[in-house]
Amino acid sequence: QVVGGKVKKPGKRGRKPAKIDLKAKLERSRQSARECRARKKLRYQYLEELVSSRERAICALREELEMYKQWCMAMDQGKIPSEIKALLTGEEQGKAQQNSTRLAKAGKTEANSSSP
């Protein structure tokens, strides 16, 4: 058959696959499926770990919130929880320490600047 000056052969275009190619294609398909399942399994493991870590964080935050609620109820009754007292005294001691450190540094700076 001649079309536009070129000879056309009947049938499909391209090369015909051999049986070896078919077997190789099936093996590649199986390997690809195995890899896909492995990736999916890893993805689900990662997501499960992420969910469990977030759930642990939520539980910790709920416990902390409950502790703060109890502190607020105690303060509403006119009681200061020992934890808050400890925090306040710790802050006061920390401020006193910072002030003494600043004074010591200022003293060293003045001594260094007055030396010839």
Q: Dump pLDDT digits (tens) for 54-101.
A: 999 999 999 999 999 999 999 999 888 888 888 888 877 766 667 666
Where is mean pLDDT largest: 1-5, 12-16, 54-58, 108-112?
54-58
**Whether the Cβ atoms of residue 103 and residue 115 lie closer than 8 Å to each other:** no
Phi, then psi, of 60 in degrees rounded to 5: -65, -40
pLDDT at 33 over 80: yes
Average pLDDT of the chain? 81
Determine how many CB atoms are found less than 10 A away from the CB of residue 101: 10
**Whether the Cβ atoms of residue 81 and residue 75 lie closer than 8 Å to each other:** yes
Angle at 85 between CA 81 and CA 89, to 5 degrees: 175
